[in-house]
Amino acid sequence: MLMTIFELRRAYHGSLDNIRGWLGDASLSGQLTVLDRLSILDAWHQEMVEFFENHGHCFACNRPLDRCRCPVEPPASPTD
């Protein structure tokens, strides 16, 4: 079932509050390096992008995917 943009934004803000709380709690994340924290935030962000797409909306512009005009990243080329 697709969610409305309002439901998606509510879920996003709830998730953002959770990640902020977790990263701000020294007992849970006190041993993490800056690189660890950035990696966690990057993974969380990618999950949010996929979450929005799975529910038919663009994460960047919040429009339905069929109305989104955001540039699409070209596929990564393999490096030798």
Q: Binning pLDDT at 50, 70 and 90, where does residue 80 land?
A: low
Give me the pLDDT at residue 31, please: 86
Give the whole-angstrom CA distance, residue 70 versus residue 68: 6
Give the whole-angstrom CA distance, residue 15 versus residue 9: 10
pLDDT one-digit tens code per residue, 21-32: 888 888 877 888
| In the chain, % of residues over pLDDT 90 | 64
Give the whole-angstrom CA distance, residue 39 versus residue 34: 9
pLDDT one-digit tens code per residue, 37-75: 899 999 999 999 999 999 999 999 999 999 999 998 777
Distance (Å) of CA 42 to CA 35, 49, 51: 10, 11, 14
- Map tokens 């070209």 to a residue: 74
